[in-house]
Amino acid sequence: MRHAVISTILAGAISIGVTAYSAGSAVAQGVNEARFASDGQVMIPEDWRQWVFVGTPLTPNALNDGKAPFPEFHNVYIEPSAYAHWQKTGEFANGTQIAKELVLIRQKDPDEMNADGSTGEVSGVGYFQGEFTGLELTVKDTNRFADQPGGWAYFSFGHELPYAKTASAFPAETCNACHEASAADDWVFTQFYPVLRAAKP
């Protein structure tokens, strides 16, 4: 009953419930939150390509037996208000959103591709970004995702365009196993993201 009353009072605040105002909440930390549908699915961000780019690992299919775990460039972005919090504190606030857009290596001409998947362009031999092929998102919220290690939940909007409008969280073990074991900072692979390393106070 108490919960219902307080929730009603807070109805204008995007209805994220009582925990929204605890000390560690996204609202308290000034971070723009992901939007969630009433069924709990996260909604696709509107403008992730205008978020702050942090780095792009590249795992060519040609170097991974034709099937890289994440094809192939992974353009990684952090939502700007979460970036501002990181710049100030060196921590990922509750509410932090990090998007990963997958991009195929550009095939100028399949006959001209080298065995390692590289091609020759005017700027040298290497890898160039072709077409988008997937969008994933991770959201940190130790209140909403209290059962996820570190409070990080992981979502995929699919590997086809147009992307799905909403996505369910993966089971905890699917993504968190690697992130927990190998990420340098709070489940995030900052060792691959020079922009975040440089911005850390």
What are the residues binding a copy of itself (CB under 8 A)?
A: 49-50, 52-53, 55-60, 63-64, 68-70, 73-75, 77, 80, 83, 103, 106, 116, 118, 121-132, 178, 181-182, 191-195, 198-199
Radius of gyration of the chain (CA): 19
Of 24 and 57, which CB lies nearer to a copy of itself in the complex structure? 57
Of 174 and 191, which CB lies nearer to a copy of itself in the complex structure? 191
Handedness of CA 18, 24, 25, 29 (dihedral sign): positive
> Nearest distance from residue 181's CB to a copy of itself, in Å?
7
**Nearest by Cα to 27 from 14, 37, 36:** 14
Q: Are 180 and 186 in contact (CB under 8 A)?
A: no
Of 37 and 161, which CB lies nearer to a copy of itself in the complex structure? 161
> Nearest distance from residue 176's CB to a copy of itself, in Å?
13
Of 106 and 159, which CB lies nearer to a copy of itself in the complex structure? 106
Cα–Cα dist 172/151, whole Å: 10
Three-class SS string for 167-188? Answer: ECECCHHHHHHHHHHHCCECCE
Is the preceding omega at residue 71 within 30 degrees of 0, hence cis? no
> Nearest distance from residue 142's CB to a copy of itself, in Å?
24
> Nearest distance from residue 83's CB to a copy of itself, in Å?
8
SS3 66: coil
> Nearest distance from residue 103's CB to a copy of itself, in Å?
6
Handedness of CA 146, 151, 154, 155 (dihedral sign): positive
Of 10 and 63, which CB lies nearer to a copy of itself in the complex structure? 63
